[in-house]
Structure 1
Amino acid sequence: MNKDRDAARARLRPGPLAAALAVLAAALLAGLLVGAADVPVGGVLKELADRIPFVHLDSGLAPVDRNVLWELRLPRVLAGALVGGLLALAGAGYQGVFRNPLADPYLLGAAAGAGVGATVTIVVLPGGATYAVPLAAFAGAVGGVLLAYLLGSVAGRGASGSATLLLAGVAVASFLSAVQTLVQQLKTQELQRIYAWILGGVASAGWTQLAMVAPYALVSTVVLLLHGRLLDVLAVGDEEAGALGLSAARVRLVVLAAASLATACAVAISGLIGFVGIVVPHVVRRVAGGSYRVVLPLSLLGGAAFLVLADLAARTVVAPGELPLGVVTAFVGGPFFVVVLRAFRREVGT
């Protein structure tokens, strides 16, 4: 209890924030400088500096190199940062609501709903209309979460039963995963495209996709960051929160909605990428403390840096080939999940 109260009084300090921003800036720069195309490093740096107001530099880059930088590398790096930040932020939000460090952004059926939406679109529009896949994944993720919430509300007579909502999410995810498997078996000729989407990646991300999800990502991010103090109060206990005039049910509903929207935005761009929402918030807690006023913003920045670097590894480890981004995060997150699980079991004394 004293530990929870200490976390509730904690604040984000300039030192950890500056360190997180520096790591993110270094990751973004590395993502822009390194790639399959041999673009001069000096030219890239001058081209970037030329976009700073009142700075005018001739980068000397050829038109094709400029296109590689602005149309391929930059949107890919920004997409990786956006997806990683949203998944880590959503993971921290879910963990605050369920008071469980193992809670995942895909917990309430978002991943399964997105998988159904993307799979059906790929089957119905084989070989084309790739722009429709992110839209369908976004709609499917939102629909999966809404279905889980409705089922949990009916079974638990309200949104306050987080355990009931969690079980409803598991049930909805299982059902939607079965639907997805059925569709795949009916259209085996599209399995390669479906599995490529399921394994996740930001290689095909462009400015159109970023613009599509940007408003929703902004709203969900702001809402989650503003609820850091309220999640700290909930961590102390529902009774104490009620004594302070705080509605625990309302806070949980808003945070779950915002975290699910953030997850849907990430899935729409990248497909299914696991472990980011578990690994990053846990590292932040170990380094900077357990207050959600600290965990949420640092998870946002740390998740962005983590996925940019993971994508950089995905496109350089087996160059000129490329690993699926979901495989890279699984290699890192799988063993890390075991560490988190062991730590959690020691904390609860099991």
Structure 2
Amino acid sequence: MSRPVKVTALFAGLTIALVVVACVSAGTGQFAIPVADVVTSLLHHIGLGPGLADPFAEGTLWQVRFPRVVLGLLVGGVLGVAGALMQGLFGNPLAEPAVVGVSAGAAVGASLSIVAGWTFFGAFTTPALGFVGGLVTTLTVYFLSRSGGRSEVVTLILTGVAVNAVASAVIAFLLFSGDQAAREQIVFWQLGSLASARWPYVGSILPLVVAGVVISLLMARKLDLLTLGERPARHLGVHVERLRATGIVVVALMVSAAVCYSGVIGFVGLIVPHAVRMLTGPGHRVLVPASLLAGAVLLAAADLAARTTFDYADLPIGILTAIVGGPVFFWLLLRTRRRAGGWA
């Protein structure tokens, strides 16, 4: 199968999978709604055909199910794109957004809001501080790693490790100093969940997600040149430091916006780009949009499993992605080493 045909088949398959998973997830729950009714309701809201006769089913779909499904698609897509950017910027398939401290920083901000009991933004207080914490931590890692106007990849990664360690210590202190209710809320937030999804939350992160994805697509050609190495990329006209700074800021904005509502969800940004790269090759003009779709499908499917694994219980989605993601990533590493010898 030629590469164009393979790429077309991949995008078609991911698009179909996204629609199917979204519809099934919207219809699944303690109050089951047939997929046909889900589709009917969707068509009605875009002006095609009558709505559902059952107002309770209609309310369940649009007030509870669809906000959660859409938020899951956005968060998964963001994590997939951010992972592809990080791996391209660092030239390392093990890179992910957590490397630069965005998840740990968001956890610090959210935990501080929970322990202090701040409510100055109402229901948006904890997500807002999570967003600010992730953004500030990422920018701190970047500026601390700079020397002589440049940031070395190894220095940046090691700085990220150090800042992540400090953030973990701060979270541990907040857990120690908070009351029982605050501790439970912090632990649940760190495990990741989409249970709190609401349309206002979706609307607040959508502009950042769209802007981040568009900028990522515009960076694709330069990321392809960067894979040749920093020196060849500079000779070909790429301002490596500016590209890296832009990419890190984009990742910080997108991922901070995503995890401030969902909590910490691991392995999606690590596994998705790596798996897509094995199917399509390293070209970022295909890798970035494919990672967007694959990340959305993966997280929507994981959330569906998290909601249905136990009766009357919502399994934290971060547990599920870690349990499944760890062995899958190890298998991908072994398969890549056998067939291609590594990153290239």
Q: Same fold (TM over 0.5)?
A: yes
Match of 2:183 among 184, 191, 208: 191
1:344 to partner: Cα distance: 6.7
The alignment covers a number of residue pairs equal to 337
1:338 to partner: Cα distance: 2.2
1:12 to partner: Cα distance: 9.2
Stretches (4+) displaced over 6 A: none
Q: CA separation in 2, counterparts of 1:238 and 1:120?
A: 39
- Structure 1 unmatched ranges of 5 or more: 1-6
Q: CA separation in 2, counterparts of 1:236 and 1:12?
A: 24
Q: Report the counterpart of residue 210 of structure 1 in structure 2.
A: 202
Match of 2:44 among 46, 50, 63: 50
Q: Mapping of 1:237-252 within 5 angstroms?
A: 237-252=229-244
Structure 2 residue 140 is matched with structure 1 residue 147: yes
Post-superposition CA distance 1:175-212 (Å, at most 9, x none) = 11111111110114211111111100111111111111
| Alpha-carbon contact 2:7-2:280 (below 8 Å) kept | no
Look up the equivalent residue of 1:27 and give its one-letter code.
Answer: V
Q: Report the counterpart of residue 17 of structure 2 in structure 1.
A: 23
Post-superposition CA distance 1:12-47 (Å, at most 9, x none) = 943322222111111111111212213344433321
Q: Report the counterpart of residue 14 of structure 1 in structure 2.
A: 8
Structure 2 residue 152 is matched with structure 1 residue 158: no
1:127 to partner: Cα distance: 9.9
Post-superposition CA distance 1:140-182 (Å, at most 9, x none) = 00011011112111xx333431211111111111111111111
Q: CA separation in 2, counterparts of 1:302 and 1:41?
A: 22
Match of 1:60 among 48, 53, 58: 53
Q: CA separation in 2, counterparts of 1:210 and 1:52?
A: 19
Post-superposition CA distance 1:84-119 (Å, at most 9, x none) = 000011011000011111111111111111111011
Post-superposition CA distance 1:209-266 (Å, at most 9, x none) = 1111122111111111111111111101222212221111111111121122111111
Look up the equivalent residue of 2:99 and give its one-letter code.
Answer: L
**Pair 1:314–1:244, CA change in 2 (3 A):** same
What is the CA RMSD across the aligned residues, in angstroms?
2.2
Q: Mapping of 1:1-350 within 5 angstroms?
A: 13-53=7-47, 55-61=48-54, 63-125=55-117, 129-153=122-146, 156-189=147-180, 190-342=182-334, 347=341
Look up the equivalent residue of 1:206 and give its one-letter code.
Answer: R
| Alpha-carbon contact 2:212-2:251 (below 8 Å) kept | yes
| Alpha-carbon contact 2:142-2:151 (below 8 Å) kept | no
The TM-score with structure 2 as length reference comes to: 0.92
**Pair 1:112–1:11, CA change in 2 (3 A):** farther
| Alpha-carbon contact 1:160-1:248 (below 8 Å) kept | no
**Pair 1:127–1:211, CA change in 2 (3 A):** closer
Q: CA separation in 2, counterparts of 1:292 and 1:122?
A: 39
Q: CA separation in 2, counterparts of 1:291 and 1:179?
A: 39
Q: CA separation in 1, counterparts of 2:215 and 2:5?
A: 18
**Pair 1:87–1:159, CA change in 2 (3 A):** farther
Look up the equivalent residue of 1:280 and give its one-letter code.
Answer: V
Q: CA separation in 1, counterparts of 2:119 and 2:238?
A: 51
Look up the equivalent residue of 2:116 and give its one-letter code.
Answer: V
Look up the equivalent residue of 1:147 and give its one-letter code.
Answer: T
Look up the equivalent residue of 1:220 and give its one-letter code.
Answer: G
Q: CA separation in 1, counterparts of 2:307 and 2:237?
A: 51
1:126 to partner: Cα distance: 7.5
- Structure 2 unmatched ranges of 5 or more: none
Q: CA separation in 2, counterparts of 1:159 and 1:106?
A: 21
Q: CA separation in 1, counterparts of 2:22 and 2:51?
A: 22
**Pair 1:40–1:13, CA change in 2 (3 A):** closer
Q: Which deviates more, 216-225 or 76-85?
A: 216-225
